């Protein structure tokens, strides 16, 4: 554990120096191709750094933060787009905005209508999710006697809870470091009433925002030259899902170090096809949506079933779920030992 923590420290020290170079050197270069060329070596380095980590959680989170978010944000920065423009006031803010899925919450005016999406997660909700996640880790001890569909449902719940809790923790650390409030990364995805609602307004909102700026909008603008605007929007949506699938393949590769099977890409392409079909139906048919309970159940059923079919198999075949559980228990035990040593 100590060796892996040292490797993690080295990776992020390299990342800090690389981001500092972009802040102090690349920002002085005019936007466009020249700034892009100055940033490309950093993007290549960020694709390599997660290979120095063997821990599932450390390599997976570093891939998300460096190989995906930081690279996309730096590519946008090359053309004065994205969260790094205008240039943040100091290197600390530049580093945090480049690497982490955060967005500073704007102070609402007294007369503004409160938007629940921008409200932080209530403490009791966070406590319940932590409790459920802790119970999950111990329920796995009885997975051999549980029905197969129950175990698969638990794995789906595990993925959601772990991703959200990790991003909430990172957000809390960054919020304290910057001295500002940030918007929540998730917006109760289990309450989604449509696939469009789930993927664009509730699930992993900061990653969705990066995909919208780096993929959706450029693709939409390009295809507007050849198709009607409503068709170009659908192409942009499909492109975003495709790129999301490819980036998840990259995360899977760093986790299992095996060639991709493209199942997870198929999962996101399928979600894109279903979401664009939903958009077309809403536009063309005068259709009264069903009750929220019915539509919400249908959305969660579709995402869960297709996830079990295409998203989970590669993880299950390579025992990633068992590694994830073991690492969580190891981290908890490591933290307990450190607290015991410090208290004594």
User: How far apart are alpha carbons 200 and 209 in whole angstroms?
Assistant: 8
pLDDT tens digits, 110-124: 555 545 555 667 778
Is residue 295 a contact partner of residue 289, using CB atoms and an 8 Å limit? Answer: yes
Give the 3-state secondary structure percentages of the chain, helix then strand then coil, rounded to 5: 75, 0, 25
User: How far apart are alpha carbons 237 and 256 in whole angstroms?
Assistant: 29
Is residue 157 a contact partner of residue 182, using CB atoms and an 8 Å limit? Answer: no
Angle CA 147–149–150, to nearest 5: 65
Q: Which residues contact 166 (CB under 8 A, 6 or more apart)?
A: 57, 61
pLDDT tens digits, 307-320: 999 999 998 898 88
pLDDT of 288 > 90? The answer is no
Which of the given ranges, 95-109, 152-166, 318-332, has the highest pLDDT on average?
152-166
Domain regions of the chain by residue span: 1-99, 121-183, 185-334
pLDDT tens digits, 60-83: 999 999 999 999 999 999 999 999
Report the pLDDT value the prediction gives residue 41, as an integer from 0 to 100. Answer: 96
Mean pLDDT of the region 150-176:
89
Residues forming beta bridges with residue 182, ordered by sequence position? 104
What predicted TM-score, i.e. pTM, was given to this entire model?
Answer: 0.90
User: Predicted confidence band at 334 (pLDDT cuts at 50, 70, 90)?
Assistant: low
Neighbouring C-beta atoms of residue 36, cutoff 10 Å: 17
Relative orientation angle of helices 148-178 and 320-343, to the nearest 10 degrees = 50
CA nearest to 244, candidates 279, 277, 209:
209
Three-state SS string over 96-154 comes to HHHHCCCCECCCCCCCCCCCHHHCCCCHHHHHHHHHHHHHHHHHHHHCCCCCHHHHHHH
Report the pLDDT value the prediction gives residue 103, as an integer from 0 to 100. Answer: 85
User: Predicted confidence band at 40 (pLDDT cuts at 50, 70, 90)?
Assistant: very high
Neighbouring C-beta atoms of residue 177, cutoff 10 Å: 13
User: Predicted confidence band at 284 (pLDDT cuts at 50, 70, 90)?
Assistant: confident
Mean pLDDT of the region 6-33:
94
């Amino acid at each position: 554990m100590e060796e892996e923590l040292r490797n993690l420290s080295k990776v992020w020290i390299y990342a800090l120096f690389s981001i500092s170079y972009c802040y102090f050197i690349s920002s002085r270069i005019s936007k466009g191709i020249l700034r892009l060329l100055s940033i490309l070596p950093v993007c290549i380095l960020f694709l390599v750094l997660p290979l120095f980590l063997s821990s599932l959680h450390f390599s997976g989170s570093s891939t998300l933060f460096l190989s995906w978010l930081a690279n996309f944000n730096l590519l946008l920065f090359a053309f004065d787009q994205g969260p790094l423009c205008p240039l943040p006031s100091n290197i600390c803010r530049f580093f945090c905005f480049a690497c982490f899925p955060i967005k500073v919450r704007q102070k609402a005016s007294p007369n503004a209508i409160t938007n629940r999406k921008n409200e932080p997660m209530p403490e009791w909700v966070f406590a319940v999710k932590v409790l459920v996640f802790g119970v999950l880790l111990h329920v796995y001890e009885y997975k051999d006697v549980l029905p197969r569909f129950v175990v698969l449902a638990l794995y789906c719940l595990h993925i959601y809870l772990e991703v959200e809790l990790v991003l909430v923790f990172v957000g809390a650390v960054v919020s304290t470091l910057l001295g500002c409030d940030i918007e929540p990364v998730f917006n109760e995805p289990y309450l989604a009433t449509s696939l469009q609602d789930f993927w664009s307004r509730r699930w992993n909102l900061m990653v969705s925002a990066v995909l919208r700026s780096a993929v959706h909008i450029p693709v939409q603008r390009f295809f507007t030259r050849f198709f009607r605007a409503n068709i170009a929007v659908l192409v942009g949506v499909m492109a975003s899902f495709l790129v999301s699938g490819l980036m998840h393949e990259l995360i899977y590769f760093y986790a299992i170090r095996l060639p991709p099977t493209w199942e997870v890409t198929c999962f996101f392409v399928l979600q894109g096809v279903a979401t664009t079909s939903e958009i077309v139906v809403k536009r063309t048919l005068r259709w009264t949506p069903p009750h929220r309970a019915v539509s919400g159940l249908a959305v969660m059923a579709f995402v869960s079933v297709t996830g079990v079919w295409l998203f989970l198999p590669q993880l299950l075949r390579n025992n990633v779920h068992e590694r994830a559980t073991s690492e969580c228990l190891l981290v908890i035990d490591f933290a307990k030992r450190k607290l015991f040593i410090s208290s004594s």
